[in-house]
Structure 1
Amino acid sequence: MRHPTLPITLRPITLGLIGLALSTLTISAAAVPATARTAPPTQHSTHHSIRYASVDACTVKGIGDIPCHTWRLDLLDGRRVALKDAMVWPLNTKGKPVKEMQAPLSVSGDGESVAYFRKSDHRLVVREFHGQVHVMPKKPLPRGVGMNDAWLQLSQDGARLALGYSVKDGSSRARIFDVSGATETGTLPAFGTFRGFSGDGSAVLVEQDTDENTTGLGVYDTRGDELARVVPPQIVAAGVPWALSSDDRTVAFVTGSGKKAMLRFYDAATDRTAGSVRFSLPTDASVEMIDWTGEHEVTLHLIRSGKVDHVTILRIDTQTGKTRVRDSYKVRAGTFTYQSCGG
């Protein structure tokens, strides 16, 4: 099984999701027009939000395991629905499916939206589960780049989408889209690894290689303008994954394990550590994702690996270190790969 590699306030859901469960999700190219989001964000519900998206594994002689069947969404209420209009296999530059890997897909941190390439016309879309489908501009990838060299990541609230891709020199680029307007807001310059949107989606954090073979961090707004660039101390560099706060400068990361675990903070604008709080982290768990989900709250996705991954989601008060479990689940057996929601 392949763990999610990237990494991922809710609104009430209307009958749109019920229709999702009953339909094949094959949408025509003339999709619903994009409109602005009007409902204010609220906290995670226990209703129809997405826990994770996954695709099955099938064994093919001479190849091994490949993704197969269709993407499926496991929901917080225990139900499972098929996302039948999402591409399972990415296309290479010649338009041929690459069956050894899964097509790009991302779930927003709030579990309310999912981004993917659509089977019917290969358009990049973001589906909101109260019924809206946002279709991004045609040809979102540059010439000479296939879907097999691309990835997707939605912001916490699903309002921003990053489409990342690798170029010939080995570096990465990313186009940022405003989802409701279905428009590109900017392109990030060359970077090493995309590390996520800030808590409110107003900026992004990337890892950058330096001439001295050290780890650099860059903060950019959604237009692609640089807000900060720094080579952090080793304790920060070794603390990946990182999460960027809505202030576009405070980076959260975890060190240690068990009762010695620390949630630490680093200011990318001043290149200084900015305090820490102690909390308890299971010794058999690794931190797979970290997200700012409130002004004083960070959410961790922990992975305990066995025959299947066991995911535990913790919310941590950044002022007191008080911790509570938001959710816990086991990924279904026979899964090729999965993408969890973030916060």
Structure 2
Amino acid sequence: MRLRTVLATVLLTAVPLSGQPAAAATPVTIAYAQRTQTWELVLTNGDVVKVPEALAVAPRDAVNAGARTAFLVSGDGRHFFYFRKSDGRFAERTLHGKERVIRSIEAYTTGEEWPSVSDDGSFVVTGTSAPGLGVLVDVRKGKTLPQPGGTDEWSFSGFSPDSKRLLMQGVLGGRVTVFDRGLRTRLRSKTRLSPVALANDYVTAAAPVGSWPKSRKLRLVNLRTGKASGTITVRLPRGQYVDDLDFDKAGRLIVRSKTKTGVAIYRVSKTTGKATLLRTITRPDVKVWVLPGDDEYEPWTEKQ
């Protein structure tokens, strides 16, 4: 065991922790974020990086003053997003990169709009309490895109694992649509289900079945034909439920489930529902923590 220090940029303050050195070929990424006195990044090599410039709660002039503000980590563990204390604007960073400000998203609307980010951290979508969408931003291009079809009456369901497609459902009529990053329609399907995950084939989607949050069932949907599979019961341990549903880049079905000590991640058979444990993550002793790929709220984010 030895101490190490993250080589951080000026806006990040590194705090060394003891831990085993990471393998040379394995890049250091963000394991999760946690909030103590300020937001912190816990890295995969055990180091902790403070983010003192990130707001923890909405400012006094916000619609919901004092409400918890979003702090997100992209699914690849390389990008993090936060509202700045200086002006309430939403910003994106990497561990050693420059801050990029997304001016169309601000802390003033905390609790009325909530952001979601793609796995590679390059695209942001905000949902609203309207219902409907707020803004859609291509972070790499620094461009805010117009609403698809000239209307905000969409419900955002998720990104494909490769971040090249967006899955949305019309608020009126319920039609499920797959868009590319330019928000051009690539596939449209009519289904009574509400898919929340899209595979990298851009055709297969997964929809939870039953009453959230205590459900272990799902169905797969072919968005080209609109046909759905039979109900698949995920064989999780007693007391665990499907809290988060997704596909990995190879098209395998992935479920995250809250446990008594943290979160468990499973690969699920699309035919039998057998759940194979991939890994567990122990919850740190903090009030709030955020895993890579989380939306603004997940069942495990706040300490009960």
| Band of TM-score, shorter chain | 0.7 to 0.9
Q: Provide the aligned C-alpha RMSD in A.
A: 3.8
The structure whose RCO (Cα within 8 Å, separation 6+) is larger is: 1
Name the counterpart of 1:25: 12
Q: State how far apart, in whole Å, the 1-side matches of 2:38 and 2:64 are.
A: 15
1:182 aligns to 2:142 (yes or no): yes
What are the superposed Cα offsets for residues 58-81 of structure 1, whole Å, 9 maximum, x if unpaired?
xxxxxxxxxxx2122233344433
Equivalent of 1:133 in 73, 85, 98: 98
In structure 2, relative to structure 1, the CA distance for the partners of 1:342 and 1:299 (3 Å cut) is: farther
Name the counterpart of 1:90: 58
Name the counterpart of 2:262: 310
In structure 2, relative to structure 1, the CA distance for the partners of 1:255 and 1:281 (3 Å cut) is: farther
Name the counterpart of 2:200: 246
Residue 272 of structure 1: how far off its partner (Å): 0.8
Residue pairs, 1:223-302, within 5 angstroms: 223-233=182-192, 236-237=193-194, 242-253=196-207, 264-273=219-228, 280-302=235-257
1:338 aligns to 2:297 (yes or no): no
In structure 2, relative to structure 1, the CA distance for the partners of 1:284 and 1:48 (3 Å cut) is: farther
Name the counterpart of 2:18: none
Residue 227 of structure 1: how far off its partner (Å): 4.0
Corresponding residue SS for 2:136? strand
1:205 aligns to 2:164 (yes or no): no
Q: State how far apart, in whole Å, the 2-side matches of 1:221 and 1:318 are.
A: 26
Residue 266 of structure 1: how far off its partner (Å): 0.6
Number of aligned residue pairs:
274
Mind listing any 5+ residue stretches in structure 1 that lack a counterpart?
A: 1-14, 27-44, 57-68
Residue 284 of structure 1: how far off its partner (Å): 1.8
Identity of aligned residues (%): 23
Residue 251 of structure 1: how far off its partner (Å): 0.3
In structure 2, relative to structure 1, the CA distance for the partners of 1:151 and 1:279 (3 Å cut) is: closer
Q: State how far apart, in whole Å, the 2-side matches of 1:203 and 1:287 are.
A: 23
Name the counterpart of 1:120: 86
Q: State how far apart, in whole Å, the 2-side matches of 1:315 and 1:46 are.
A: 23
> TM-score, normalised to structure 2's length?
0.72
Residue 262 of structure 1: how far off its partner (Å): 6.8
Equivalent of 2:118 in 144, 155, 161: 155
Mind listing any 5+ residue stretches in structure 2 that lack a counterpart?
A: 14-24, 211-215, 295-304
In structure 2, relative to structure 1, the CA distance for the partners of 1:150 and 1:277 (3 Å cut) is: closer
In structure 2, relative to structure 1, the CA distance for the partners of 1:157 and 1:315 (3 Å cut) is: farther
